[in-house]
Amino acid sequence: MSRIQIYDTTLRDGSQGEGVNFSLQDKLLITQKLDDIGVDFVEGGYPLSNPKDFEYFARVRDLPLKHAKICAFGMTRRKGCNPEDDIGMIALRDAKSPIVTIVGKTWDLHVFEVLHISEEENLAMIRDSVGYLKAEGREVLYDAEHFFDGFRANPEFALRTVLAAQDAGASTIVLCDTNGGRLPEDIAAAVDAVRRELKIPVGIHVHNDGELAVANSLIAVDHGAIQVQGTINGIGERCGNADLISVIGNLALKKGHDVLKPGGLTRLTELSRYVYEIANMNFRNGQAFVGASAFAHKGGMHVHAVNRLSASYEHIPPETVGNQRRVLVSELSGRSNIIAKTTKYQINHDNALMARILERVQDLENEGYQFEAAEASFDLLVRKEAGAYTQKFKRLHYRVNVETVAGQGTVTEATVKLEVNSKTEHVVAEGDGPVNALDNALRKALSTAYPSLSEMQLVDYKVRVINSGEGTAARVRVVIESRDHTDVWSTVGVSENVIEASWLALVDSVEYKLYKDAEPTS
């Protein structure tokens, strides 16, 4: 197995994605996580662009990194300027990162129409910039911007640019599909041509505008590239970068390359979700390898087959990348789905119970419920049908009051009355809306009996109209996603009243948490 270097640019290229804004602390946390998993290079940012990125390079030196090498990113010197006088070069020098990644122009279109310089001046800018940083004791990687477009338009000049970087002391030449529009065959031909000319290693950096970033990265490796640049979850400008999650999974599991450090592969799902959380982005359920739906099975025939032989409908064992198999339950489910979902209750041999659970699911879905996205509610349903359910608290009454006062905004207040351990709890709580107020009141009423609820939080809330033809009397389905320190779960409620539907989902969420905490961990 050959070693393929993984170069992460989440903190720089990824931060250019729409809606992505990492704080300094965010960047340091992600750096540590990337180092823990065994990523080879972490590109921290462009030290000239903003004070936060400059401060990052000062702070990152205090992190106890064990594997990853930190890279500063910057442009070649400005035209008509010596590198020692160029503010960009000075910023890269002062960042004191062991590695500097320099990006320069390859496409003659940019040389003539964007920079308005000659070919020779562009080559001099590349040589001077790489040589200056090399003389300052830095290892220099050279990113050949728009290489594949440039190679298509003027292959001779494109090759001259990367040779200039090599001759000036660059350790690796990284070929960039900056516009993300090239096909795999374009990548393969250009990588072959470059490798015939260069004496140093070649890397690949591609964008995803043609939905081919992962494929283009893989074929570059097939043709001799030893480094792949990309971002976690593929975040980045426009359509994003190559998703390193998929790149790593394919390189290691399909092509047999050595990536990350031992055990790192099993933490891919953890890494993916960690970055989503830090970036305040929703998980992509359908994301390859690590998505919640990546190993989810719904059709009864599929579930039956997977129960017998997982490889029949799974391309890899989900635990290989730290993910898990999920069996979905809906009106399309068969007995196999129910058996798979109820294994932990050891009731799978009770045919009558299986049939009863399936019938209950089908009846509820006819009313508008959907358990595919609400597995915690399904768990409670099984407990009830199997006689394994004991009510943790009794709901007596709730009320929500929304009051708007001129000049003072809106005040939302929820009153909840429960019976807990034979004691009546009657509490009031405010919130930023009816659901938030109800959530606060419910947990306040239960906090004395169940203090672990303090670590639980509501992280997502979805409302969908089921029978829109009924107008304002239509039924709505509310799905609530909750989490604690270890798990994420979803619950569902259905009603003609959106507050009631929300209340039902909230109650299920809390009850699931209490049952989960009470069960012994294996």
pLDDT at 503: 94
Read off the pLDDT of each residue in 298-304 and give the average, rounded to a whole number: 58
The yes-or-no verdict on residue 341 having pLDDT over 60 is no
Q: Tell me the C-alpha distance between 99 and 68, whole Å.
A: 11
Q: Specify the pairing of strand 41-45 against strand 5-8.
A: parallel
Which amino acid type is present at position 203? G
pLDDT at 52: 85
433: its two tokens: 């809306």
396 or 325: which leads in pLDDT: 396
The band of 75, judged by pLDDT with boundaries at 50, 70 and 90, is: very high
Q: Specify the pairing of strand 296-297 against strand 326-327.
A: parallel
455 or 196: which leads in pLDDT: 196
The band of 407, judged by pLDDT with boundaries at 50, 70 and 90, is: confident
Q: Which long-range contacts (CB under 8 A, 24 or more apart) does 245-251 make?
A: 245/271, 245/272, 245/287, 245/288, 245/289, 245/290, 246/214, 246/287, 246/288, 246/289, 247/6, 247/214, 247/217, 247/218, 248/6, 249/288, 249/289, 249/316, 249/321, 250/214, 250/218, 251/4, 251/218, 251/221
The yes-or-no verdict on residue 149 having pLDDT over 50 is yes
11 or 279: which leads in pLDDT: 11
Which residues, including other chains, have CB under 8 Å from residue 496's CB and lie 6 or more apart?
A: 473, 474, 475, 476
pLDDT at 141: 98
pLDDT at 522: 46
Q: Under a CB-based contact definition with an 8 Å cutoff, are residues 41 and 30 in contact?
A: no
Q: Tell me the C-alpha distance between 6 and 8, whole Å.
A: 6
Read off the pLDDT of each residue in 413-440 and give the average, rounded to a whole number: 92
The band of 310, judged by pLDDT with boundaries at 50, 70 and 90, is: low
As a whole number, the mean pLDDT across the chain is 88
Give the containing element (helix H, strand E) for 381. helix 375-385
Local structure of residue 97 (DSSP, 8 states) = -
Least confident of 140-144, 156-160, 204-208, 331-335: 331-335
Which residues, including other chains, have CB under 8 Å from residue 429's CB and lie 6 or more apart?
A: 413, 414, 416, 437, 440, 441, 444
216 or 471: which leads in pLDDT: 216
The band of 94, judged by pLDDT with boundaries at 50, 70 and 90, is: very high
Select from 141, 154, 75 the least CA-distant residue to 112: 154
The band of 419, judged by pLDDT with boundaries at 50, 70 and 90, is: very high
485-510 residue pLDDT tens = 778 888 999 999 999 999 999 999 99
The yes-or-no verdict on residue 263 having pLDDT over 50 is yes
Angle at 208 between CA 32 and CA 92, to 5 degrees: 45
Q: Tell me the C-alpha distance between 43 and 30, whole Å.
A: 11
Q: Under a CB-based contact definition with an 8 Å cutoff, are residues 54 and 91 in contact?
A: yes
- Regarding pTM above 0.85, the answer is no
Cα–Cα distances (Å) from 457 to 292, 398, 490, in that order, read 20, 20, 12
Q: Tell me the C-alpha distance between 416 and 441, whole Å.
A: 6
Q: Which residues pair with 162 in a beta bridge?
A: none
Q: Tell me the C-alpha distance between 15 and 20, whole Å.
A: 5
110 or 203: which leads in pLDDT: 203
Read off the pLDDT of each residue in 146-165 and give the average, rounded to a whole number: 96
369-390 residue pLDDT tens = 877 678 889 889 988 888 888 8
